[in-house]
Amino acid sequence: MKGTVEILLGGTGGQGLGLAGVILAQALAEEEGKNVQETEAYGISMRGGMSRAEVMVSEEEINEIKVTAPDVLLAMSQPVADIYIPKTKKAGIILVDSAFVKDIPPTEARVFFLPLTQEARDLGLEAAANIVALGSIVSISGILSKGSLENTLRKKFSASVVGINLKALEKGYDMGLREKGLA
């Protein structure tokens, strides 16, 4: 990894993207020893308004204060897709939740349409779509190891819910591998 990698997780309030950003940042910092900055922003109303988490990661000191051109974009709502896909770097990676995003603005970045929310529903916990998304981000981008995320999930969640979250991570990871043609 050279320079600062910018990651933007965006969607609708209530999708758990703030938590996903915290988990991603924690895994990168604590498990992989990277320099990380994580911020969250919410629309007028937290549940239902636009929300996003921004994670910047680097081997060096991070001097930026916000994501301006994502290297990795997760779009879990149409408004996020409309606003941030055009801002994603040409060599970037865009993961789109096919349950909520139907139209993609023109981009040179690689776009992956993934049934993130549907996979979480199939597990019986729609709220785990954020963790399914993290699994896909890991397998498609290679920004960190799956093991680092697994360790962070074990620390972050209680015994009563860690199992379903580990399953969600695995589903997302496998989905990403299939999309890349590696599974």
H-only helix segments in 11-158: 17-26, 78-84, 116-123, 129-141, 146-156
- The predicted pLDDT at position 67 comes to 94
- The predicted pLDDT at position 128 comes to 96
Percent of residues, the chain, with pLDDT higher than 70: 95
**What is the total count of domains within the chain?**
1
**Total residues found in the chain within this entry:** 183
CATH number at residue 66: 3.40.920.10
Mean pLDDT across the chain, nearest whole number?
Answer: 93
- The predicted pLDDT at position 46 comes to 52
Quick check: 44 pLDDT over 80?
no
Q: Which domain holds residue 36?
A: 5-179
Quick check: 29 pLDDT over 60?
yes
Quick check: 183 pLDDT over 60?
no
Name every residue whose Cβ is closer than 8 Å to that of residue 77 and which is 6 or more positions away in sequence: 10, 11, 12, 15, 50, 97, 100, 101
- The predicted pLDDT at position 47 comes to 58
Quick check: 45 pLDDT over 60?
no
Write out pLDDT tens, residues 84-140. Answer: 999 999 999 999 999 999 999 999 999 999 999 999 999 999 999 999 999 999 999
Q: Which two tokens stand for residue 50?
A: 């636009």
